[in-house]
Amino acid sequence: MPRLIFLGPPGSGKGTQATKLAELWNIPKISTGDLLRAEVKAETPLGQQAKSYMDAGDLVPDEILIGMVKDRLEDNSEGWILDGFPRTLPQAQALDELLPQMDQHIEHVINLEVPDEVIVSRLMERKEQQGRSDDGSEAQIRHRLDVYRELTAPLIPYYKSKQCLNQVNGDRPVDHIHHELRSLVNNGSAPH
């Protein structure tokens, strides 16, 4: 069963694509954003700690995320899709230490590439449709993009050097991207 990581800025379509593949292969999609939103909604101590970071469009501290993901990976050794994790180099390094201990490894890292202007208009639309409190004003959206560029984009060369990165054009219809992802995973396609 596949083990995949989705990179890509907020609004790049990671969640949509991860959901479709997880349903197809009947494996869990582990979305750290969804897990955090559930903690916030349930007003747990972790949720209370995370909320202010999320509302500001900043990243929640690495230790919280690493602990949360570790438990899920242990419970789902058959295969998984990580959506929104890792998002920093320390998170990626923690994952590289954890997986061999569980006799698991990453098969593909998928980076969905979408131009900034497309992201901003998608997120403004999502805010209207879903009312996500962190999809705020255009300024907040641009802040999240800045955070992505500074802290998450360095994962692209990191995974490239490990030969498991696949760059995929995310500015296309959902089904086209889905088909490309299915074939690249099925063929074990050479990363580029």
Q: Which of 33, 46, 114, 141 binds ligand AMP (CB under 6 A)?
A: 33
Q: How far is the CB of 14 from ligand AMP (least distance, A)?
A: 7
Residue closest to ligand AMP (Cβ): 33
Which amino acid does the sequence have at 154? Answer: P
Q: Are strands 80-83 and 29-31 parallel, antiparallel or unpaired?
A: parallel
Q: Binding segment for ligand AMP among 22-30, 84-92, 103-111, 159-167 (CB under 6 A)?
A: 84-92
Which is closer to ligand AMP, CB of 2 or CB of 57? 57
Compute CA distances 17 → 21, 24, 45, 181, whole Å.
Answer: 6, 11, 31, 8
Which is closer to ligand AMP, CB of 53 or CB of 158? 53
Q: Is the dihedral of CA 136, 137, 139, 141 positive or negative?
A: positive
Q: Which of 87, 108, 122, 127 binds ligand AMP (CB under 6 A)?
A: 87
Spatial distance between the Cα atoms of 31 and 35, rounded to a whole number of angstroms: 6
Contact flag: residue 166 with ligand AMP (CB under 6 A): no
